[in-house]
Chains A and B, each alone.
Chain A
């Protein structure tokens, strides 16, 4: 059933390794065009097309301008003796996850398609490389990878970026819907836009998409990092924790003022991912003057807009009313509880229960970690836990692939709009322009996860009074 279709298969790419700053990231290609596409983004001692299979080649990864951005190793495996049974190329990059993400993006630009979750395993199965008895395991892999990818996609596309993208989609729907309505209902008195007007609108949407692309590129999560708010009662050790994290981190990137609030953000990188730390000093206190009131409001905003919150609790005393309110607020958010002062004896209530037990009672679903800011213990586990709460344990590759997919869709949307501009500029029919806009619209629907088939018709019938 599948063998006669094999030649029609395209070439897929994805990051194959899990996160890890120190190690090597592997980006994998599979399909008939693997070597050709890899050769387009690499400058090796000898191109892969002239290299025997399974021989490592040394060389460079080149960016869009042909500039070397990383030293890499590349190797290819010949069909059918490869993981997927197809021609497979592996590119080993050095510079952490960010470079792997860039490598993937380049491969997609040069003709590879981003692999669907679990697709390498699927291809291995379809080509008979995975035994029939393991079919059910294959199904499980496809399901779990796609669940991870969905979660990662939702996380990378949230907040401002999602609003921005939906606004662009609305503009596109407006443009596409208006054009479609005029094609399907020529005898109605619908508002008709002439070619020049349409051309301007198409270009405006395209510009917005280019802006969006700038913000999506190179892995949104990696570029923007994870915003971490350090919260808690006064004098529990929030500042000490912040300082400890900064001291301990070998690579302090910079201190930058927060864009939406004038709180200082300190950025450290952990396994290649920027963590943007904000100390929300003053939160929960009663303001004594206007300046402090503003400070409290900003701390509140930082608390709300953070991707994840580290709630610092003094492990040597027991939770009070403030902690109960905080636990309530956190219960629906992403957070990690840091029980500080692990070096001191634990506080106990009148019935002898420890602070840790009492906290676990307050937040039964929460992650509790014992740390000491003073002696810098438990910090690795804390950072791990922060990253895991956002990227999913060990599944940052899903996050990277998800943002690569977003880049892919935005680019597809832009390409179709370029075509639409050409059609309109050349004075070809609105049927061809509408077809290009429809492609662009569909790419944005995939980006935003809009899966309703009737989004367009709903729009047309709500906007235009059309008869027969």
Chain B
């Protein structure tokens, strides 16, 4: 194929959640960028439940927003329903979740990428990587040009070698009947990269007019404004609802009666599926004692009449799906508009990646999203953002950006992928974060916005707004530490109202707020600020006062680990030359090639003694090179 006459800084392959974020981040950082997609109509497509956020996933989205990512804004702009989850379980795990209009969401991203300065978007089928001397030089396509760039980001989702299963039928196909990409899969294998096969399932869609919603419990949006974006005002949405129904013994009998046609139980699929998102078949098989599972009916768009059946993914044949659906209360006459299915696809063994998402064997090649063995739009977008940033940095010859586990969920996600890999599609969970109390939604801006600003991803207006917000929080905290609250009948009756003991003497407002049961609003009522904190700033104030002890505790743990994170391991270190390492540890270290001592310590099976040995060895190496320099030797 002819070589396209423009050489780009960055080429992004794939226009899904990861690809769009990568292309936007790179071009916003000033890199000339090309986004190639199989079909421009599937830009930011949501082939599963069009929901964004929830615990851990919502954290990723908010962090992306603080770094100048787009997903949060797309979700806010397209939300049909939005709620704050886990509100009673503490500030570290509360997280917004939006049910999006999938068409609006796609529209938001399509307009953003097509109007972004410095970003070209084209429909092309990438068939081959263009690699020279261990470096990515560009990509080749099936029917168009060869394109050259300084860095390439692959964000091909579930399309590589994709195979869809519905009952005994299986066909080569991407999600929702899209064209799969088999050529690129072969090209990546020939580059010597290790691959895995993974699987995920989705549920049937129903026609909303065939449901009897009146008999079901409705779930509405929150009445207080909620937004996923750090920059949004938050909206209250009242037009759409979700409905809850339940599976029952009859449903489960139908499932059991059809297991001989189930690709899952018959072993017709090789890919490893996610344990946290089991199909209804898997639930019935693995938890036979459970008589009922909750099922949610969720609208997917204002511009169609379809409803997603959450918690009901299946790859049974269509006739069995219909029978199962009809057994659910409210769905007796439901009409299936699209069948559920399972999809198997190729993904990279993520330990091929560095902690900045570059493939270790191919310089300049970055990978993001489901290709790396993750699941979820949020996980994909977060990686896309980081891969886009690093591709742009690489194109300019700058050092890569690594986010630490102690500063972000994105850091935990990428470190887990690069260091441990995952046998099943990786989903972000708050329990994966050892420093969860300091990685909150309310402080995502504090943690990451300065970085986003430095990278050129936050404009002046956003930077000014966030600084104002920090100032409001800080001055209010300072004021609460100074202001005194005197006992009064009004105050004591308010205190009694929240089950708190009455005040007998004057105390500092912050001491009153430190009582777990006393909300900020009560303190502010009796000690009014001149410039009150707004929206989520209130959460920041409360957390800072009530959680200080626990936050300090985790910060001390982070500090203890920091030393290990600062010790860098030279890229070409020869592990076979280090005496006394256990053979298993030596092999694992050589395979993962950790970047820091901290990362080395997280590789499973590498013992603390091996880390001590490695640390002494690194020290000896640096002392030797120091001596050589002193003596003028190379």
| Contacts from A to B (Cβ < 8 Å) | 1-2, 5, 8, 10, 116-119, 122, 125-126, 128, 132, 135-136, 138-140, 142-143, 145-147, 180, 182-189, 419, 423, 426-432, 434-435, 438, 451-453, 456-457, 460-461, 465-468
**Contact between chains at A428 and B310 (CB < 8 Å):** no
**Contact between chains at B431 and A180 (CB < 8 Å):** yes
- Residues of B near A139 (CB, < 8 A) are 578-580, 613, 616-617
B181 within 8 A of A: no
**Contact between chains at A135 and B517 (CB < 8 Å):** no
| Given A426-B516, A430-B90, A1 and B580 contact (CB-CB distance below 8 Å) | no
Interface range for B: 35 or more
Give the distance to chain B from A2, nearest Cβ to Cβ, in Å. Answer: 6
Provide the B308-338 mask, 1 if CB < 8 A to any CB of A, else 0.
0011000000000000000000000000000
12 cross-chain CB contacts under 8 A:
A2-B619, A8-B562, A126-B615, A136-B580, A139-B617, A143-B609, A183-B430, A183-B431, A423-B550, A431-B93, A432-B550, A467-B278
**Contact between chains at B93 and A183 (CB < 8 Å):** yes
CA A2 to CA B615, docked complex, whole Å: 10
Closest to B603 in A: A453
B527 within 8 A of A: no
CA A202 to CA B420, docked complex, whole Å: 31
B55 within 8 A of A: yes
Question: When the two chains form the complex, which single residue of A146, A188, A419 contacts B294, counting CB atoms closer than 8 Å?
Answer: A188
- Residues of A near B420 (CB, < 8 A) are 453
Give the distance to chain A from B370, nearest Cβ to Cβ, in Å. Answer: 15
B454 within 8 A of A: no
**Contact between chains at A461 and B55 (CB < 8 Å):** no
**Contact between chains at B604 and A451 (CB < 8 Å):** yes
B436 within 8 A of A: yes
Known: A135-B617, A430-B90, A451-B604. 19 other contacts (CB 8 A): A122-B615, A122-B616, A136-B579, A136-B580, A143-B613, A183-B89, A184-B429, A186-B86, A187-B294, A427-B516, A431-B91, A434-B431, A435-B437, A435-B550, A438-B431, A456-B431, A467-B278, A467-B283, A467-B294
- Residues of A near B559 (CB, < 8 A) are 8
- Residues of A near B567 (CB, < 8 A) are 1
B305 within 8 A of A: no
B607 within 8 A of A: yes
- Main SS of chain A's interface residues? helix
**Contact between chains at B90 and A428 (CB < 8 Å):** yes
CA A438 to CA B615, docked complex, whole Å: 28
Give the distance to chain A from B586, nearest Cβ to Cβ, in Å. Answer: 12
CA A42 to CA B283, docked complex, whole Å: 61
| Given A2-B619, A432-B437, A468 and B310 contact (CB-CB distance below 8 Å) | yes
Provide the B535-556 mask, 1 if CB < 8 A to any CB of A, else 0.
0000000000011001001100
**Contact between chains at A432 and B609 (CB < 8 Å):** no
Closest to A182 in B: B89
CA A427 to CA B500, docked complex, whole Å: 12
The list of the 6 closest CB pairs from A to B, nearest first, reads A429-B90, A431-B90, A146-B609, A431-B92, A467-B311, A135-B620
**Contact between chains at A452 and B90 (CB < 8 Å):** no
- Residues of A near B578 (CB, < 8 A) are 139
- Residues of B near A2 (CB, < 8 A) are 619
**Contact between chains at A118 and B609 (CB < 8 Å):** yes
Question: When the two chains form the complex, which single residue of B296, B579, B627 contacts A140, counting CB atoms closer than 8 Å?
Answer: B579
Closest to A422 in B: B549
Give the distance to chain A from B129, nearest Cβ to Cβ, in Å. Answer: 32
**Contact between chains at A125 and B85 (CB < 8 Å):** no
CA A461 to CA B277, docked complex, whole Å: 10
CA A139 to CA B605, docked complex, whole Å: 19
B250 within 8 A of A: no
- Residues of A near B286 (CB, < 8 A) are 465
**Contact between chains at A116 and B609 (CB < 8 Å):** yes
- Residues of A near B294 (CB, < 8 A) are 187-189, 467
CA A453 to CA B606, docked complex, whole Å: 12
**Contact between chains at B89 and A457 (CB < 8 Å):** no
- Residues of A near B605 (CB, < 8 A) are 451
Closest to B55 in A: A184
- Residues of B near A8 (CB, < 8 A) are 559, 562-563
B143 within 8 A of A: no
**Contact between chains at A429 and B563 (CB < 8 Å):** no
B434 within 8 A of A: yes
CA A142 to CA B610, docked complex, whole Å: 9
- Residues of B near A5 (CB, < 8 A) are 563, 566
**Contact between chains at A132 and B93 (CB < 8 Å):** no
CA A456 to CA B624, docked complex, whole Å: 43
CA A147 to CA B296, docked complex, whole Å: 54
* B residues 246-294 touching A (CB-CB < 8 Å): 275-278, 283, 286-287, 290, 293-294
Question: When the two chains form the complex, which single residue of B88, B310, B429, B609 contacts A142, counting CB atoms closer than 8 Å?
Answer: B609
CA A128 to CA B566, docked complex, whole Å: 20
**Contact between chains at A457 and B620 (CB < 8 Å):** no
Closest to A9 in B: B563
* B residues 431-457 touching A (CB-CB < 8 Å): 431, 434, 436-437
**Contact between chains at B517 and A427 (CB < 8 Å):** yes
CA A184 to CA B92, docked complex, whole Å: 11
- Residues of A near B88 (CB, < 8 A) are 429
- Residues of A near B27 (CB, < 8 A) are none
CA A185 to CA B287, docked complex, whole Å: 17
- Residues of B near A142 (CB, < 8 A) are 580, 609, 612-613, 616
CA A457 to CA B422, docked complex, whole Å: 12
- Residues of A near B116 (CB, < 8 A) are none
CA A118 to CA B607, docked complex, whole Å: 14
Question: When the two chains form the complex, which single residue of A117, A135, A419 contacts B616, counting CB atoms closer than 8 Å?
Answer: A135
Residue in A128, A138, A428, A429 with the greatest tally of chain B CB atoms within 10 Å: A429
- Residues of B near A430 (CB, < 8 A) are 89-90, 93
Closest to A431 in B: B90
Give the distance to chain B from A419, nearest Cβ to Cβ, in Å. Answer: 8
B467 within 8 A of A: no
- Residues of A near B86 (CB, < 8 A) are 183, 186
- Residues of A near B580 (CB, < 8 A) are 136, 139-140, 142-143
CA A125 to CA B453, docked complex, whole Å: 42
**Contact between chains at A465 and B278 (CB < 8 Å):** yes
Closest to A144 in B: B580
CA A8 to CA B220, docked complex, whole Å: 52
CA A456 to CA B580, docked complex, whole Å: 32
B608 within 8 A of A: yes
Give the distance to chain A from B51, nearest Cβ to Cβ, in Å. Answer: 8
| Given A8-B563, A122-B616, A186-B85, A432 and B429 contact (CB-CB distance below 8 Å) | no
